[in-house]
A and B are shown apart, each in its own frame.
Chain A
Amino acid sequence: MHMIWKLLVFVLFIWVIVGAWLFEPPMMGVEGPEVYRIFYFHVPVALVTFFAYGLAMYNGLMYLNNRRLEYDSRSALAAALGTIFCALATLSGSVFAKFAWGSFWNWDPRETSIVVLLLVYLAYFALRSAVIDAERKAALSAVYSILGFISAVFTIFIWPRLTPGLHPGAPGDSSGRFISMSTTATIVFIPSLLAFIILFVWMYLLSVRINRLEQDRAERET
């Protein structure tokens, strides 16, 4: 990755960290507005989780299309990184839930959809470890990642419509609205989202490179 991106990530994160703690909290007129500062970190991480999963599925489709095992390892790497982000999103969400809604877990629609995604990720790796043949593993996990994606998308769109949610912006939520985010919130949130996406892409490209080097070495040794 080019130096400019690395610098950009550095600057963005400094800005986000400073802004997140010093500017006014993103939601006003709610009980304990300070708690909502976690929003600057939680939401971007959650969005990156979905992005990572999309990337894993994209690489799976690429594999099914041209049968190059390289895409399968990319798919697995994206999923592995996605799992880390997914765990972080779940954790930060539940910390927030404790202080805003009173308990660590509320079965709020969006909480549930992130758990579905976490389960899909775990099942994906369970499947990978259950198949020995490399090509079959690649094909089966690519197919499964597509099914998992359909399920996750469905949970995100269907479940929230059926249950009144606690999440800001969900029906049934009486506190601040997601859309009516203040301008100060936007100037922190957007950079934060950018920073997390760039960070993820950086981690992803690095792991792809490490993986390729390891494979080259393994090939030379045989």
Chain B
Amino acid sequence: MRRSSSTWPTRSLAVLAKDIKSELRTRYAVGAIVMFAAVTVVAVGFSLGGIALDTNLQAIMLWLSIYFASAAGLGQGFIKEEEAKTSLSLRIYAPSGAVYNGKLLFNLIILTGLGLLIVPLFALLIGLNVVSYSLFLTILTAGLIGLACTTTLIAAIVARAAVKGTLFTVLAFPIILPLLILAVKGTQKAMSAGARFSDGLGELQGLSSYSVVMLIAGMLLFDYVWND
């Protein structure tokens, strides 16, 4: 057999490239996420009707919007493979590690896009009184990375279920909750008077350790979800 030395970093990137190409042509995930992000933020803005939120509530609403918008799209990567029945071809021809990494990277990109969309929109329509920008952005980045790390495996689980419907939101919430709590706390600290970067170190530590644990758990457990 001819086998070139292409290893799984390149194969993971090939899965990512394939997903991006598909996504650009079908707008399967992006459409859902953009709609959800816009609708959530606008709905919050409207229901407030011009009442200024205090910073604690701003942080909570921001992360809830991020959570629900991401729930609309993050599951799609795997669900689409399962519904188009291409997952069988992937199982035969692609190493499972490459599939997992590719989907994880794809979710990271989607979430980056979501962050770039939802934060300015939120600031514009509802208001974000950030004091320490460095802390705010670091928490935001860490939170989004953590979201990708935790939800990729859950998306794989949901895709294998017979009834998918709202399962992603139900399964993801208890798993994401620690992450959301930490992200909200960290964001609140970045928006409190006289905030400095070092105020949020505890939250950053919590966020990154949770992400790492979930990332490792995902890599170890993915085969059980994927192969059966």
Contacts and interface: CB of A to CB of B under 8 A. Distances in A.
* Direct interface between A and B, CB < 8 A: yes
A159 B157 contact: no
- State the main secondary structure of chain A at its contact with B: helix
Given A150-B214, A162-B185, A119 B173 contact: yes
Interface in B145-190: 150, 153-154, 157, 160-164, 167, 170-171, 173-175, 177-178, 181-182, 185
Given A136-B228, A158-B206, A144 B178 contact: no
B178 to A, nearest CB: 4
Given A130-B162, A154-B210, A161-B202, A140 B167 contact: no
Contact of A120 (B150, B174, B182, B203): B174
Contacts of B170: 122-123, 126-127
A133 B206 CA distance: 37
A86 to B, nearest CB: 12
A147 interface: yes
Contacts of B224: 64, 139, 142-143
Interface size class of A (residues with CB under 8 A): 20 to 34
A146 B202 contact: no
A64 B170 CA distance: 23
B210 A123 contact: no
B124 interface: no
A116 B161 contact: no
Contacts of A150: 175, 213-214, 217
B160 A147 contact: no
Interface in A121-172: 122-123, 126-127, 129-133, 135-136, 139-140, 142-144, 146-148, 150-151, 154-155, 158-159, 161-162
A123 B171 contact: yes
B161 A155 contact: no
A102 B228 CA distance: 50
Contact of B153 (A147, A159, A161, A162): A147
Interface string B189-208: 00000000000001100100
Contacts of A64: 224
Nearest to B178: A154
Interface string B206-228: 10001001100100010011001
Given A119-B173, A127-B167, A147-B175, A140 B206 contact: no
Contacts of A139: 224-225, 228
Contacts of A154: 178, 210, 213
A140 B158 CA distance: 9
Closest 4 CB pairs of A and B: A119-B174, A130-B163, A130-B161, A154-B178
Interface of B: 150, 153-154, 157, 160-164, 167, 170-171, 173-175, 177-178, 181-182, 185, 202-203, 206, 210, 213-214, 217, 221, 224-225, 228
Given A64-B224, A126-B171, A127-B170, 20 more contacts: A119-B173, A119-B174, A119-B177, A120-B174, A127-B161, A130-B162, A130-B164, A131-B162, A139-B224, A143-B221, A143-B224, A144-B157, A147-B214, A147-B221, A154-B178, A155-B177, A158-B178, A161-B202, A162-B181, A162-B202
5 contacts: A130-B167, A140-B157, A148-B175, A151-B177, A162-B202
